[in-house]
Structure 1
Amino acid sequence: MRTLGVLLAGSAGVGHQDHQSQMYSPGFAAHPGFEIVGAAEDGFDRPDVDVVSVCVPFERRVEVVAAALRAGKHVLVDKPVALTSAECAEIAAVAAGTGLVCLPAYHQRFNPAVRRARTAVAAGRVGLPWNVQADFLVAGGGPVWPYGELLNFAPYATDAVHAITGLPVTTVYALSGPADGPENLVTLCLTHERGMTSTVVAGRTAPIAGVRGPSLHRYRISGSHGTLLADATRPRVTVRDEKGERAAWTGHGTVHRMLGELHAAVTGGRPAELGPADGLAALLLVEAARKSMESGRPEPVGDQEAS
């Protein structure tokens, strides 16, 4: 397996998050196809760097991602790609101009249950899908004020729904918690192309003993010829140690699988399954949902074509 050199750029994220230290750096270190060669927010012309993992603050996100791409480096960019669809469109344009991989880290679409659901739907196992019910709830953790879970957690679920069905969202009606507090829970009622609908509930709950990460992560896909339930928290085992009880996965996690797709795309000279257009679709949906919360009515989702 060809080894790709990785440069870690930044350690910022939504609110208190540091996905670079907690997710991407350990993921690259554990993957046989990558080697971390340094940490810097510039110097992208180094010959030993093939991939730049970008987690710089949002005010520098467009600048740093564009600089890495123009230096001939492939990019993994923390989610969300940017804070606005206009900024994401800038990144998409640069990526398209270079022909390099620019992969937004919506790693939940690589969950084995989501992948199996996608394969089943594509094979016609449920007929023509007409509705998806999605739940993405995480137990514990701090609020990501002022961004909220509409920007933080909801796009994981909406991206997974898109990955499973292949149908973009056209209209959204959104509800959330109190406007003067953390946006801990959001409900999105979505209309997709070809008349499919979906409901996404995403957010953060109180801590649950023995649970770290998603406490409820599932997709119920209803079609003309059947229904499929994909529970993305299983299979798992219960581990009891001196720190208490927790649920743990067996096998590779979603970040490892995402990095495998990144490696395959870079070494194979092909586009990655997940790209700037997916990051743009997520942000356009967030912006339309915010508008819906203000207007109290369904709102159309903007143009999802990335130039």
Structure 2
Amino acid sequence: MTGRVRVLAAGFGGIGVPGGQDHQTDMYLPALAADPRFEVAGVATAGEDPGRARAAAERYGVVCHESLDAALRADGVDLVCLAAPYETRTEAITAVLEAGRHVLADKPLAPAAADAARLAALADETGVVLVPAHHQRLGGVLRSVRGAVRAGRIGLPWNVQADLLVAGGEPAPGGELANLALHPVDVVLALLGLPVTRVYACGGAAVPEGGHAPVTLLLDHERGVRSTIVCGRLPALRDVPPSAPVVHRYRISGSHGVVLADALKPAADLHTTTGRTPVGTGRDTLAHLLDATWTAVTTGSAELTAWDAVRTGLVLEAAAESLRTGRPAEPARDGEHAERSEG
């Protein structure tokens, strides 16, 4: 493929109540419009109220399609950036893949790991790219740490400790496993490259001040490696934008050393008369996600695939089972899915 990648921004929904989460408006469309490698060719609704799509079409000066089906019948679209409502996301992605269009899909890819596996298999079958928005693993610090760990700089890894805490924002219905915990689980899997054999989860009860108490995930990996992940949403903080992370860090211990990674760096503190706000000073993870998507669409070489979403989803489903039962749970394993996601 030569020239700019023409993008359809479809869907303005997410996890939670209608009118809540909208990563399309807040994240994807501004980033795509600012990136010279992409051209926003149109927007479309994906089953939700069309108001946001119409507003976006006016803001970016593009055509607004009243349905995803109508948009897919139009010519001249290479990539669909899809953020359909969580409940209908699987069906929407299926329609785009069957139409032969590449997809950048909001996370989580699907409500169930089995649905994600079907989407991954369909993408393989149709020969198109399906990139899940697991963008945190692509940040510069975590990418460097992953390279160091995989190169044996700390010897054989034996333990990972991870923390991701955000402040304020609207809590996800049913807790933050599929919403927030997805990121550190995906990062740990990318760092180690080792399947999870057992999950124990605890915490996650509602707290009176708003949000949810953090959930702790204890993961046993193959080869005797263990990881501990603490993740959750805290009450709002004055100096932190809603849903912005206040802690996002990893400590990887190995037989010959330890590496510490603060995923919020590089950053500076902006002090004003109203408070202090941390401001990132490097390329953000969304920019790296667009890099990975552009490379996948133009060359067919995908750094991040739907099989990564399958692997993460299986761990999160085991964590949800553990929270329900109070006992450790083993992630469901399928030989084909495991082979593809680990390859």
* TM-score, length basis structure 1: 0.94
Q: Which range moves more in the overlay, 216-225 or 90-99?
A: 90-99
In structure 2, what is the equivalent of residue 19 of structure 1?
23
In structure 2, what is the equivalent of residue 158 of structure 1?
185
Candidates 28, 31, 35, aligned match of 2:32: 28
CA–CA separation in structure 2 for the residues paired with 1:175 and 1:130: 22
Q: Report the Cα offset of residue 210 of structure 1.
A: 2.5
Q: Which range moves more in the overlay, 39-48 or 9-18?
A: 39-48
Whether 1:267 and 2:298 are equivalent positions in the alignment is yes
Do the aligned partners of residues 74 and 166 (structure 1) sit closer, same or farther apart at CA in structure 2, a change above 3 Å counting?
Answer: same
Candidates 173, 180, 198, aligned match of 2:200: 173
Higher RCO (C-alpha under 8 Å, 6+ residues apart): 1
CA–CA separation in structure 1 for the residues paired with 2:238 and 2:144: 29
Aligned ranges for residues 17-56 of structure 1 at < 5 Å?
17-40=21-44, 41-42=68-69, 43-56=71-84
Aligned ranges for residues 142-221 of structure 1 at < 5 Å?
142-146=170-174, 148-178=175-205, 183-212=212-241, 213-221=244-252
Whether 1:230 and 2:231 are equivalent positions in the alignment is no
CA–CA separation in structure 1 for the residues paired with 2:177 and 2:213: 8
- Look up the equivalent residue of 1:77 and give its one-letter code: A
CA–CA separation in structure 1 for the residues paired with 2:273 and 2:294: 37
- What fraction of aligned residue pairs are identical, expressed as a percent? 47
CA RMSD of aligned residues (A): 1.9
CA–CA separation in structure 2 for the residues paired with 1:96 and 1:90: 10
Q: Report the Cα offset of residue 180 of structure 1.
A: 9.8
Residues 267 and 282 of structure 2 are in contact (CA less than 8 Å); yes or no, is this contact kept in structure 1? Answer: no
CA–CA separation in structure 2 for the residues paired with 1:30 and 1:192: 40
In structure 2, what is the equivalent of residue 10 of structure 1?
11
CA–CA separation in structure 2 for the residues paired with 1:127 and 1:219: 17
Residues 207-245 of structure 1, C-alpha deviations (whole Å, 9 max, x = no match): 233333110000000001000000111110122457643
Residues 212 and 234 of structure 2 are in contact (CA less than 8 Å); yes or no, is this contact kept in structure 1? Answer: no
- Look up the equivalent residue of 2:15 and give its one-letter code: V
Q: Report the Cα offset of residue 45 of structure 1.
A: 3.6
Residues 236 and 248 of structure 1 are in contact (CA less than 8 Å); yes or no, is this contact kept in structure 2? Answer: yes
Residues 209 and 246 of structure 1 are in contact (CA less than 8 Å); yes or no, is this contact kept in structure 2? Answer: no
Do the aligned partners of residues 75 and 199 (structure 1) sit closer, same or farther apart at CA in structure 2, a change above 3 Å counting?
Answer: same
What residue ranges of structure 2 are gaps of 5+ in the alignment?
A: 45-67
CA–CA separation in structure 1 for the residues paired with 2:306 and 2:203: 27
CA–CA separation in structure 1 for the residues paired with 2:137 and 2:159: 18
Whether 1:117 and 2:118 are equivalent positions in the alignment is no
CA–CA separation in structure 2 for the residues paired with 1:210 and 1:57: 30
- Look up the equivalent residue of 1:153 and give its one-letter code: L
CA–CA separation in structure 2 for the residues paired with 1:26 and 1:57: 19
CA–CA separation in structure 1 for the residues paired with 2:151 and 2:143: 12
Whether 1:138 and 2:138 are equivalent positions in the alignment is no
Do the aligned partners of residues 210 and 49 (structure 1) sit closer, same or farther apart at CA in structure 2, a change above 3 Å counting?
Answer: same
Q: Report the Cα offset of residue 153 of structure 1.
A: 0.6
Q: Report the Cα offset of residue 3 of structure 1.
A: 0.8
Which secondary structure state, in structure 2, belongs to the residue aligned with residue 300 of structure 1? coil
In structure 1, what is the equivalent of residue 60 of structure 2?
none
- Number of residue equivalences: 305
Whether 1:126 and 2:154 are equivalent positions in the alignment is yes
Residues 147-170 of structure 1, C-alpha deviations (whole Å, 9 max, x = no match): x11111111001011111111212
Which secondary structure state, in structure 1, belongs to the residue aligned with residue 72 of structure 2? coil
Residues 102-138 of structure 1, C-alpha deviations (whole Å, 9 max, x = no match): 0110110011111111011112110010000000011
CA–CA separation in structure 1 for the residues paired with 2:88 and 2:324: 29
* TM-score, length basis structure 2: 0.84
CA–CA separation in structure 2 for the residues paired with 1:3 and 1:99: 20
Whether 1:100 and 2:128 are equivalent positions in the alignment is yes
CA–CA separation in structure 2 for the residues paired with 1:81 and 1:283: 9
Residues 62-119 of structure 1, C-alpha deviations (whole Å, 9 max, x = no match): 2211111121211011111111122212211211111211011011001111111101
Residues 258-301 of structure 1, C-alpha deviations (whole Å, 9 max, x = no match): 1101001111122x211111111122112111111122211111
CA–CA separation in structure 2 for the residues paired with 1:121 and 1:27: 31
Residues 204 and 232 of structure 2 are in contact (CA less than 8 Å); yes or no, is this contact kept in structure 1? Answer: no
Which secondary structure state, in structure 2, belongs to the residue aligned with residue 222 of structure 1? strand
In structure 2, what is the equivalent of residue 299 of structure 1?
329
Which secondary structure state, in structure 1, belongs to the residue aligned with residue 40 of structure 2? strand
What residue ranges of structure 1 are gaps of 5+ in the alignment?
A: none
- Look up the equivalent residue of 2:308 and give its one-letter code: D
